[in-house]
């Protein structure tokens, strides 16, 4: 089981994989990633948040003189991250700068051999295609025949659009798989839902039982930091992991 120190080391490795230049990367973890030092190195910092997962840690994006994002770090005032992104969030800079990142709409077309492919399009053209398609569906089948199955905050915009369009058929895979049953059970048992992220008190627990899920693997930042603190304070961790079950004989 990783101690708090191990977790910090793992996070620091993720930070090291980001785009800091050589001289900076040689300094110690503590010195390198302090906001004071970053403020001196980069020209601009902008408040942001990470959406690599639903934990949505608040952070700071550091930009160089050319306006290029060089680094993202956690915001110390956010209790979801306590100033420290997990390695996935820190890697957000790599996702942002990835040369294969989709930056323009693509419209599906057929090539001369009849194979489906995509061509780049302007936003105006893409919105026209979507609007015409949606109007056709509404006219021929009714707006309720269009449904939304989304995840992440980007889906909210589509949710507003679908309601304005006339369909209430909006769902999310996370609701069916985990949030929904948990929320309904809590409302039935305690009279209110848990919300998300759920307000747990892992740091002060004496015994943490994880069934079919492992906080360390899910890497929900604040929870993992709390779990590491609990381990340092002597908590017992019991994990029931179906992947380790096997039949003998
Ligand atoms: S837990 Fe990690 S991936 Fe999720 S929002 Fe926070 S920094 Fe991003």
Q: Which ranges of 111-220 would DSSP assign to H, the alpha helix?
A: 123-141, 154-165, 173-174, 180-190, 215-218
Q: pLDDT digits over 168-213, tens only?
A: 999 888 777 777 888 899 999 999 988 877 788 899 999 999 887 7
Q: pLDDT digits over 6-65, tens only?
A: 544 444 444 333 333 333 232 323 334 566 666 666 678 899 999 888 889 999 999 888
Q: Within 6 Å (CB) of ligand 1, which residues are found?
A: 50, 52-53, 55-57, 81, 85-86, 88-89, 219-221
Structure tokens at 18: 């980001």
The pLDDT score that the predictor gives to residue 244 is 67
Report which protein residue has its CA nearest ligand 1's atom 8: 89
The pLDDT score that the predictor gives to residue 245 is 61
Report which protein residue has its CA nearest ligand 1's atom 5: 56
Domain-wise residue ranges, the chain: 4-97, 142-191
Angle 204-210-216 from CA coordinates, rounded to 5°? 80
Q: Quote the ligand 1 centre to 227 CA distance (angstroms).
A: 16
Structure tokens at 135: 């109007």
Look up the pTM and report it: 0.69
Judged against a pLDDT cut of 80, whether residue 1 lies above it is answered with no
Q: What CATH number matches the domain at 4-97, 3.40.1550.10, 2.20.25.90, 3.10.129.10, 1.10.274.10?
A: 2.20.25.90
% residues pLDDT > 70 (the chain): 81
% residues pLDDT > 90 (the chain): 46
Tell whether omega for the bond before 80 is within 30 degrees of 0, i.e. cis: no
Report the sign of the C-alpha dihedral through residues 67, 73, 77, 81, in that order. positive
Report which protein residue has its CA nearest ligand 1's atom 6: 57
SS3 238: strand
Of ligand 1's listed atoms, the one at least distance from the Cα of 53 is: 4
Report which protein residue has its CA nearest ligand 1's atom 4: 53
**CA of 13: how far to CAs of 2, 165, 246, 249, in Å?**
15, 47, 34, 43
Judged against a pLDDT cut of 60, whether residue 95 lies above it is answered with yes
Tallying the residues shown for the chain, one arrives at 249
What number of other Cβ atoms are within 10 A of residue 35's Cβ?
Answer: 15
Q: pLDDT digits over 137-154, tens only?
A: 999 999 999 999 987 788
Q: Using most ligand atoms within 8 A of CB, pick from 53, 218, 219, 223 the residue to mutate for ligand 1.
A: 53
**DSSP state letter for 144:** G
The pLDDT score that the predictor gives to residue 32 is 44
The pLDDT score that the predictor gives to residue 111 is 86
Q: Using most ligand atoms within 8 A of CB, pick from 78, 81, 198, 216 the residue to mutate for ligand 1.
A: 81
The pLDDT score that the predictor gives to residue 18 is 37
Structure tokens at 97: 């700068």
Mean pLDDT of the chain: 82
- CB under 8 Å to 149, separation ≥6 — which residues? 171, 172, 173
The sheet that has 69-74: what strands, in order across it?
44-49, 58-63, 69-74
Residue 58 phi, psi dihedral angles, 5° rounding:
-75, 145
């Amino acid at each position: 089981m990783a101690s708090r120190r191990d977790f910090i080391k793992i996070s620091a490795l993720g930070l090291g994989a980001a785009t800091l230049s050589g001289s900076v990367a040689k300094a110690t973890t503590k010195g390198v990633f302090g906001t004071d030092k970053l403020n001196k190195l980069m020209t601009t910092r902008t408040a942001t948040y990470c959406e690599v997962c639903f934990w949505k840690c608040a952070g700071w994006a550091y930009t160089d003189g050319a306006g290029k994002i060089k680094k993202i770090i956690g915001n110390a005032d956010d209790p979801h991250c306590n100033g420290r992104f997990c390695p996935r969030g820190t890697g957000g800079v790599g996702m942002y700068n990835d040369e294969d990142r989709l930056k323009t709409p693509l419209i599906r077309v057929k090539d001369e051999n009849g194979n489906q492919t995509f061509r780049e399009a302007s936003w105006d053209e893409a919105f026209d295609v979507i609007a015409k398609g949606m109007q056709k569906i509404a006219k021929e089948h009714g707006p309720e025949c269009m449904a939304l199955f989304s995840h992440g905050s980007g889906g909210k915009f589509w949710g507003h659009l679908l309601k304005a369009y006339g369909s209430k058929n909006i769902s999310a895979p996370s609701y069916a798989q985990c949030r929904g049953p948990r929320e309904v059970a809590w409302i039935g048992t305690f009279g209110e839902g848990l919300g998300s992220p759920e307000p747990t008190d892992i740091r002060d627990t004496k015994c943490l039982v994880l069934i079919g899920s492992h906080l360390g693997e899910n890497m929900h930042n604040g929870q993992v930091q709390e779990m590491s603190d609990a381990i340092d304070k002597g908590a017992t961790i019991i994990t029931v992991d179906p992947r380790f079950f096997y039949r003998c004989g």
